[in-house]
């Protein structure tokens, strides 16, 4: 199923401030859009849409009707809406401008989450159609994805997949009817042998575009379980650990002096030289060229 289709069918290609569609994300699509006062036509999504308000007019109100229920929300930054797949939205009215981060997860993400973690399956229609959510975890995921869209990092693939799993788990456990642990999943631990395999794989593929699924497969764990176990063992999530390895590689390449900054950015999995330079300055307090001069 094309994750990019729902947003384009519902809102069109206009008023997009920034989007993940130009990035190599998998398992999740994100659009930041400016919505003016309007009435939108009826729409039935194929995938799960999560909307998070980023900025708004002080008097903005969104009214919508789905599953025969009217919902009226006074918009403020951080407020969220859920629109599950298969829910017919019959009426959407926007009173004033607001900027909304739209996140799209595939409809089968909950089945995978249940299979991996011993939870009961989240059946179609069990995720509730909700508005006006004040959920810190959903908001934090949204802000992290927005920051990644604006300034892509070297570990984007692992980060985005990790955030997608976190978002799926939050919605399944908090906003889906009937979800609960069955206690049947075999939860292996990330023991020393598995951890060593993962760290060796990271070192060998530090210049490749590896994913959370790749790392979890090396550990023979589900991605969600691997994410929790790695963070617990290493004190940092996989994307942060991988980003640290790539920064160390960048330092070594800069000190050697054989490659240009643009080539080093590519070798360390940054999408552009400018993104590499910003990330390097944040991590070291100096620019790549200044670091090279100091190292020679």
Query: Same domain for 73 and 119?
Result: yes
Q: Is residue 131 part of a domain?
A: yes
DSSP secondary structure letter of residue 120: P
Inter-CA distances, 207 with 3, 12, 20, 71, 228, Å: 28, 37, 22, 48, 24
Q: How far apart, in whole angstroms, are the C-alpha atoms of residue 276 and residue 250?
A: 9
Q: Is residue 110 part of a domain?
A: yes
Looking at 135, 150, 175, the residue that finishes a domain is 175
Q: Is residue 180 part of a domain?
A: no
Local mean pLDDT, 10-residue blocks, the chain (296 residues): 81 90 91 95 93 97 93 97 92 96 90 58 77 97 97 94 94 81 61 96 95 96 92 95 96 94 96 93 93 89
Query: Same domain for 218 and 290?
Result: no
pLDDT for the residue numbered 186 = 53
Query: Same domain for 214 and 253?
Result: no
Q: Is residue 11 part of a domain?
A: yes
Query: Same domain for 140 and 227?
Result: no
Range of the domain at 218: 192-235
pLDDT for the residue numbered 113 = 61
CA 188 to chain centre: 25
Q: Is residue 38 part of a domain?
A: yes
pLDDT for the residue numbered 287 = 95
Query: Same domain for 35 and 168?
Result: yes
Q: Is residue 243 part of a domain?
A: no
Q: How far apart, in whole angstroms, are the C-alpha atoms of residue 157 and residue 127?
A: 26
Query: Same domain for 261 and 132?
Result: no
Q: Is residue 162 part of a domain?
A: yes
Query: Same domain for 220 and 265?
Result: no
What's the burial of 219, exposed, middle or buried (CB within 10 Å: 0-12/13-18/19+)? buried
Counted domains in the chain: 3
Here the CATH number for the domain that contains residue 276 is 1.10.10.60
Query: Same domain for 161 and 57?
Result: yes
Looking at 206, 235, 264, the residue that finishes a domain is 235
Query: Same domain for 208 and 113?
Result: no
pLDDT for the residue numbered 244 = 95
Looking at 235, 268, 286, the residue that finishes a domain is 235
Query: Same domain for 273 and 231?
Result: no
Here the CATH number for the domain that contains residue 52 is 2.60.120.10
Structure tokens that stand for 156 in this block:
């984007």
Query: Same domain for 128 and 14?
Result: yes
Query: Same domain for 158 and 231?
Result: no
User: String of b and e for 265-295 (b: at least 16 CB within 10 Å)?
Assistant: bbbbbbbebebbbbbbeeeeeeebeebbeee
Q: Is residue 144 part of a domain?
A: yes
Q: 89 by DSSP, 3-state: which?
A: strand
């Amino acid at each position: 199923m094309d994750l990019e289709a729902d947003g384009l069918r519902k809102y069109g290609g206009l008023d997009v401030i920034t989007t993940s569609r130009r990035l190599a994300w998998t398992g999740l699509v994100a659009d930041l859009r400016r919505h003016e006062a309007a009435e939108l036509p009826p729409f039935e999504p194929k995938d799960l849409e999560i909307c998070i308000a980023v900025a708004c007019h002080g008097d903005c109100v969104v009214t919508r009707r789905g599953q025969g229920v009217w919902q009226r929300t006074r918009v403020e930054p951080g407020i969220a809406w859920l629109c599950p797949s298969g829910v017919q939205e019959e009426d959407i009215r926007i009173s004033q401008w607001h900027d909304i981060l739209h996140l799209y997860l595939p409809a089968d993400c909950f089945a995978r989450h249940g299979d991996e973690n011993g939870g009961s399956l989240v059946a179609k229609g069990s995720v509730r159609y909700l508005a006006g959510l004040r959920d810190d975890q959903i908001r934090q995921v949204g802000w992290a994805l927005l920051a990644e869209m604006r300034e892509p990092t070297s570990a984007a693939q692992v980060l985005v997949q990790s955030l997608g799993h976190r978002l799926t788990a939050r919605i399944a456990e908090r906003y889906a009817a009937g979800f609960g642990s069955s206690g049947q999943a075999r939860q292996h631990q990330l023991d020393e042998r598995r951890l060593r395999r993962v760290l060796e794989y990271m070192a060998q593929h530090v210049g490749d575009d590896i994913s959370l699924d790749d790392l979890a497969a090396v550990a023979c764990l589900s991605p969600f379980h691997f994410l929790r176990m790695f963070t617990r063992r290493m004190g940092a999530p996989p994307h942060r650990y991988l980003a640290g390895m790539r920064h160390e590689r960048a330092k070594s390449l800069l000190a050697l002096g054989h490659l240009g900054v643009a080539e080093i950015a590519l070798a360390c999995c940054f999408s552009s030289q400018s993104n590499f330079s910003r990330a390097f300055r944040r991590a070291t307090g100096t620019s790549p060229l200044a670091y090279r001069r100091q190292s020679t």
